[in-house]
Structure 1
Amino acid sequence: MSNLDRQAALSVCGGRGFVVAEPVRELLSPRQVPLGESTVVRRLLPNLGRRMVGAWAFVDHYGPDDIADEPGMQVPPHPHMGLQTVSWLHEGEVLHRDSTGVKATIRPRELGLMTSGRAISHSEESPRSHARFLHGAQLWVALPDGHRDVEPHFQHHSDLPRVTAPGLTATVILGTLDGAASPGTTYSPIVGADLALARGSEAMLPLDPDFEYAVLAMSGEVNVDGVPVLPGSMLYLGCGRTELPLRAESDAGLMLLGGEPFDEEIVMWWNFIGRTNEEIAQARSDWMDGTRFGEVKGYDGGPLAAPELPATPLKPRGRVR
């Protein structure tokens, strides 16, 4: 999924200088961002208060939207570099096309994992014949320096491992949770899981104390470590936890995101993750020149134009403002 903000700002994030090395309860509110022709998303990362959770560097939550009489998601071809995109749905379908020639339809609780490596472009859209509701999340994972020039590729996994407890089903999206490992390729210690809780259930989720974590509320009423977390908001949890108490007041859906704090400082602008202003500027130039990022075939429409780079010089900043 693309960042369609026409005033895209340069920022540096990552590094361990602002990692919270103990358990915290920091509630993050989203900002509303238009995406494509008819979709509005709630952006949780980067946030005014926090820019990364482990290697997770970008989180959008959208829906549930009634698109019965609407085109739904329509995101034209756009570029990525230095990251992985994770497409995750609770309702609806998303048709993915990319410049490696892949065409795939992602359905609820199937993993669509695109590794951009040095350069890729893709489009995302609701199929012409689609379900009434669209509800999901789009996330980015920053690639560490040693792997950010890997060959671009796409993985689609429809059968993911699950961890169960009374009233709880956890689907492992990336990494490992309670001994269950996702088949999705990762390049740094990370975990992502979808949590479905039944009304009235209480559960204790095992965690890695070396990871920092956050929980994104997708639907329902739920308390995370005693904090009510409403749909479309995220609770940052810090590090040092071995378990996480959950209590559902209704049927509820969450996403658990975590990982070892990302050592490197990264520059994230528009749909690129790099290490310097010059690297980002070169990527923008390559996209606008039609080189390096390839061509997405089959999308009914032209590619996105990149916004202008800001005139102000890049000022290094850490994980939080």
Structure 2
Amino acid sequence: MSDLDPCPAEVLCEAGPCPGPVAEFYPAREVPLGGVRGVFVERVLPQRDLPTVGAWCFLDHFGSPTVTDTGASPNIDPHPHIGLQTVTWPFDGHIRHRDSVGSDAEIQPGQLNLMTSGRGIAHSEYQVDGAPAGHGLQLWIALPGNRARIDPHFEQHRELPVYSVPGVRAIVLIGSLGGSTSPAIAYTPIVGADMRIDAGTETSIPLEPGFEHAVLVIEGSVEVDGVEVESGPLLYLGTGRTELPLASASGAHFALIGGEPFDEDLVMWWNFVGRSHEEIVAARNDWENRNVERFAGIAGHPPEQRIPAPPLPGLHLKPRKRRIGPARS
């Protein structure tokens, strides 16, 4: 899963002050992947007023029952990334991941798949023959400046720690929650967890007060610190919370993301996360010019089987600042 918008906007994600505890809803947007290919996802990050949550800079809910289903193939041909980690977390379906560092892995539910692009990687994602198209989340984590050009690599974790309190079970994908720490490599202080709460539960979970957090409900409804949240929008919770009260009458499945507020400005365009317009231009040129030192070929894909980069915008980027203001709900 990737940002395959044929006309992506160029965005400068500027670091901003910490807001303290808030409760703000940010709506999901139905976004087409690959233009005429007709595959749609629900995207909740980045937002105009909320470009990042910690180092999390991109969040798609794919295969959601509420998005337009055109019956188009979900297969995504080779395409590039720089400056980020991709987190693929399927709830159902099987996906075949292949990349330019030689990885060839079948992505299955309950397994974390983490690809670190660093200075540059290319990958493809195909539906496994006979398997359903799939339903899950894909997220991007921005790499900090001192790690943005590390060598690319891929890791898959089939066993992940679980944090639980009565009525709540959380699979810790990356980072730590309540003393349970994922083996996945993180380059910034961060947390990501897949959580389920049983019907009739009322409890709380511990949070790191220096982190900002957000919740995305996948199914059902959960009350988060007194705010009712259903599937669709992202609930941004701000910083300064030591615990998070949770309650649900009917039960719910949701994701928790968070991290130390990212203090670096980011330029995001297409599948690239950089620090300047010039860095993005260089990455695009390397992809279009088939620079194999940066974006090597992928076994099983002929050289012509690749997604071309969209045209760059004619104007230089403009800052997109985080809004800090009264909570909204």
What is the Cα deviation at residue 181 of structure 1?
0.6
Give the Cα–Cα distance (whole angstroms) in 1 for the partners of residues 3 and 243 of structure 2.
Answer: 34
Counterpart of 2:114 in structure 1 is 113
Q: Which residue of 2 aligns with 1:193?
A: 193
Aligned-partner SS, 1:313: coil
Q: RMSD across aligned C-alpha pairs, in angstroms?
A: 2.1
Q: How does 1:169-184 map to 2 (within 5 A)?
A: 169-184=169-184
Aligned to 1:165: 165
Alignment deviations for residues 291-311 of structure 1 (CA, whole Å, 9 cap, x no partner) = 121112224871111111111
Letter of the 1:25 partner, please give it.
A
Output the amino acid matched with 1:26.
Answer: E
Letter of the 2:189 partner, please give it. P
Q: TM-score, normalised by structure 2?
A: 0.92
Q: Is the 8 A contact 1:92 1:135 kept in 2?
A: yes
Q: What amino acid sits opposite 1:83 in the alignment?
A: L
Asked if 1:295 corresponds to 2:317, the answer is no
2:24 matched to 1:26? Answer: yes
Q: In the alignment, which residue of structure 2 is the partner of 1:128? A: 129
Query: More displaced, 97-106 or 224-233?
Result: 224-233
The normalised TM-score by structure 1 is 0.94
Q: Bigger CA drift: 290-299 or 273-282? A: 290-299
The verdict on how the C-alpha distance between 1:142 and 1:202 changes in structure 2, with shifts beyond 3 A counting, is same
Unaligned runs of 5+ in 2: 325-329
Cα offset, 1:7, TM superposition:
1.5
Give 1:1-321 correspondences, 5 Å limit.
Answer: 1-15=1-15, 17-20=16-19, 22-36=20-34, 37=37, 39-64=39-64, 72-131=73-132, 134-291=134-291, 292-299=294-301, 302-320=305-323
What percent of counterpart residues are identical?
A: 48
Asked whether the 8 Å contact 2:49–2:321 carries over to 1, the reply is no
Q: Deviations over 1:14-34 (max 9, x none)?
A: 41x2431x1100011011111
How much has 1:63 moved relative to structure 2? 2.3
State the 1:317 CA deviation: 3.1
Residues 61-107 of structure 1: CA deviation (Å, up to 9, x unaligned)? 122459xx957521111100000000011111221110111011111
Whole-angstrom distance in 1 between the partners of 2:130 and 2:283: 35
CA distance in 2 between counterparts of 1:14 and 1:94 reads 34
- Please tell me whether the aligned partners of residues 167 and 197 of structure 1 are also in contact (alpha carbons under 8 angstroms): yes
Distance, in Å, in 2 between the alignment partners of 1:46 and 1:315 is 15
In structure 2, C-alpha distance between the alignment counterparts of 1:64 and 1:306, rounded to whole Å: 27
What runs of 5+ residues in structure 1 fail to find an aligned partner?
none
Paired residue for 2:327?
none
Alignment CA distance shift 1:269-1:190 (3 Å) = same
SS of 2:257 mapped into structure 1: strand
